[in-house]
Structure 1
Amino acid sequence: MVLSKVTDRPIVIATRASRLAVWQAEHVQDLLRKTYPGLEVSLLKLSTRGDEILDRSLQKVGGKGLFIKELENALADGRADLAVHSLKDVPVVMPEGFTLACILPRAEPRDAWVSGKYASIEDLPAGAVVGTSSLRREAQIRRRRPDVVVKPLRGNLDTRLGKLDDGQFDAIILAAIGLQRLRLESRIRMILPVDLCLPAAGQGTLGIEVSAGREDMVDLLMPLACQRSTAVSIAERAVSRVLGGSCSVPLAAHATLQSEGGELIAADAGLDSITDAGILVRALVASPDGADVLESSVFGPVSQANQLGEQAARILLDDGAAQLLQEHLQDD
């Protein structure tokens, strides 16, 4: 691709300083360099409050927005042009002054079961300790195994694995993609099927944020965007938006592109497949103990991804999701 005016100067990518976050930013850096040969792209590594506060759960200290605020400050004051995020950490309602400019191809969206002793959740003995700080994961694990103990697990990926290895937990649950990106696939005992643990909205996907009005950056990122990933992400984030989704809510949303016959459309399918595809949206809301679970699923044209996500959420609301979520917030 021919260099344009926007690529005549170095581009700065803001990122968290964790090993996984840096991998993700370097991935975008490589994509930009391949798309625009000769382009200078550097990283601005920042520590966020979400990385620094490890003794309390996210829902008690401000939610997932803690992971992106410092990066947005760098965008606002001109230190950075782009910020790379795990899409599941990006608020479904973007803060004023910022926009989600690009969604990259989705990788593995499911969760991973990690344990040195037990191959699956079914193998756990009663009273075994499972580590996760995700209310979504906790609710679904306790739904299947109410006889196990779920305890908070914070820290970066290496810290979490270290706590497992130290014997603090019998098993932990992590996003599979994080392990895969850092070449730690050998730690995965199994990928949890979505029927057991429905993923979070945006899990496995990278989003790139820019300051509002930076049309030059939007144009720069256009070749990196993925229509398939954008469609499913729009649907998933619509579920979360209608239900007030955040890390303080036990909420899951997962969308897939499918043919009319119900066959899953491969990630590398041609763009013509999207035009004719349907999108299946699954949503779940639960109490943290997994005792009360509401689920919905809707299918329709991919062109209506946002409406289908909203519809899946409203089905849950009609079934009592608002009361379930309110009861959880009061208990919390």
Structure 2
Amino acid sequence: MKRLIRIGSRDSKLALIQTQMVIDSIERHHPEIKIELVKMKTTGDKILDRTLEQIGGKGLFVKELDEALLSGAVDITVHSYKDLPMILSEQLPVVALSKRADPRDVLILPEGALELTPGKPIGCASKRRQLQLAALFPETPCKPVRGNVQTRLRKLDSGEYGALVLAAAGVERLGLQGRISRYFSTDEILPAASQGIIAVQGRLGEDHSYLREFNSVESWFVSLAERSFVKALDGGCTAPVAAFAEVLDEDLSLKGFYYEEGKPIFLGSVSGMKEDAELLGERLSKEAKMVK
């Protein structure tokens, strides 16, 4: 008898592609395990007429998946790590992280367009992106956009927007890299914490050794630094905060972006040993809080 592992996933195309990456790793290395995919639609997927800030934040993308994990309906769940809340249930720890894909944001123009259309807004819901785009395109406004990548592309191509800004990793995993007009460097637009990393959650105390081949140690270091910076600033999907860390041998460098109304934008960096990743994030957050 094979051991059965039930994997919970949002039912969007991108979420299923990312979950399949986890499934492929398990099946390739652990033929003794049988996989069952359990697809779910979350509250965040259902409510598309309001911004995340208006409906309760990124936790609405994981609520149903967390409930399935707690009830035993599934054994692990798969997420884009950037979509997970900064504070997670102790009973549902992250048990594996993928190798990081391209962490950058990208600009996507309407089909056939070569440049931004004057007067048309950039489709972008996050304040993090909006503030940084304002420096790059001061004459072009931003307008919130919701829905999966395909839905956003339809809105773009129908003329509702002059461009979209999305995460490169998701666009590339969907095989839509041909739609990318420009990659923004991390100096131009600092990405969301853990952007490009897939996270797997499980139940506390259970054996998740079948995920060891999928897991990336480097992703743990960079995510720990980035998420500790955001967490210390009470940031999340709707807050204007961003972080990006890189590991070189034993060292880790971290850049952070933060904005609090009435204060100048903070953009700073810190570096140190990768084993001190969490402390580095907290140290940089203290510098951000001191901006006057």
TM-score after normalising by structure 2: 0.95
Q: Distance in 2 between the 1:48 and 1:21 partners?
A: 12
> 1:242 aligned to 2:207?
no
> Residue 285 of structure 1 aligns to which amino acid in structure 2?
Y
Please tell me the root mean square deviation across aligned C-alpha atoms, in Å: 1.8
**Cross-structure match for 1:61:** 55
Q: 1:130-279 counterparts in 2 under 5 A?
A: 130-214=122-206, 216-217=207-208, 219-258=209-248, 273=249, 277-279=250-252
Q: 1:302 maps to what in 2?
A: 274
Inter-CA distance 288–157: structure 2 relative to 1 (3 Å threshold): farther
Matched ranges for 1:274-293 at <5 A: 277-286=250-259, 292-293=264-265
1:287 to partner: Cα distance: 5.7
Aligned to 1:224, what secondary structure does the other structure show? Answer: coil
Task: Provide the secondary structure at the position in 1 that maps to 2:234.
Answer: coil
Q: Which 4+ stretches in 1 moved above 6 angstroms?
A: none
Measured in 2, the distance between the counterparts of 1:180 and 1:204 equals 10
Which residue matches 1:29? 23
Alpha-carbon distance change, 133 to 288 in structure 1, aligned in 2, over 3 angstroms: farther
Give the deviation of 1:212 after TM superposition: 1.9
Deviations 1:116-153 (A, max 9, x none): 3665xxx5465331001111111110133232111011
Following superposition, the deviation at residue 179 of structure 1 comes to 1.0
* 1:258-278 Cα deviation digits (max 9, x unpaired): 3xxxxxxxxxxxxxx4xxx21
Tell me, in whole angstroms, the C-alpha distance in 1 between the residues paired with 2:117 and 2:59.
36
Q: Give the CA deviation at 1:91.
A: 1.4
**Secondary structure at the residue paired with 1:70?**
helix
AA at the equivalent of 2:142: V
SS, match of residue 84 in structure 1: strand
Deviation string, structure 1 residues 3-41 (Cα, Å, up to 9, x no partner): xxxx94211110000000000111100000111024211
The answer on whether the counterparts of 1:87 and 1:203 sit within 8 Å (CA) in structure 2 is yes
Aligned match for 2:287, one of 315, 321, 330: 315
More helix by proportion, 1 or 2? 1
**Contact 2:109–2:116 (CA under 8 A) maintained in structure 1:** no
| More off after superposition, 37-46 vs 7-16 | 7-16
Aligned residues: 291
Question: Which residue is 1:16 aligned to?
Answer: 10
CA offsets 1:82-107 (integer angstroms, 9 cap, x no match) = 00000001112112421111111111
> Residue 172 of structure 1: CA displacement?
0.6
Q: Is the 8 A contact 2:80 2:199 kept in 1?
A: yes
Distance 1:201 1:305, change over 3 A: same
Q: Which moved more, 1:141-150 or 1:196-205?
A: 141-150
Structure 2: distance between partners of 1:145 and 1:118 = 17
* Cα deviation 1:157-205 (Å, max 9, x = unaligned): 1000001100111111011111100111000011111111100001000
C-alpha contact (below 8 Å) 2:95/2:201 kept by paired residues: yes
Q: Which runs of 5+ in 1 are unaligned?
A: 1-6, 259-272, 321-332
Q: What is the alpha-carbon distance in structure 1 between the residues aligned to residue 272 and residue 260 of structure 2?
A: 28
Structure 2 gaps, min length 5: none
1:118/1:171 contact within 8 Å kept: no
Contact 2:264 2:291 in 1 (8 A): no
Please name the residue that 1:76 is paired with.
70
| Aligned twin of 1:86 | 80
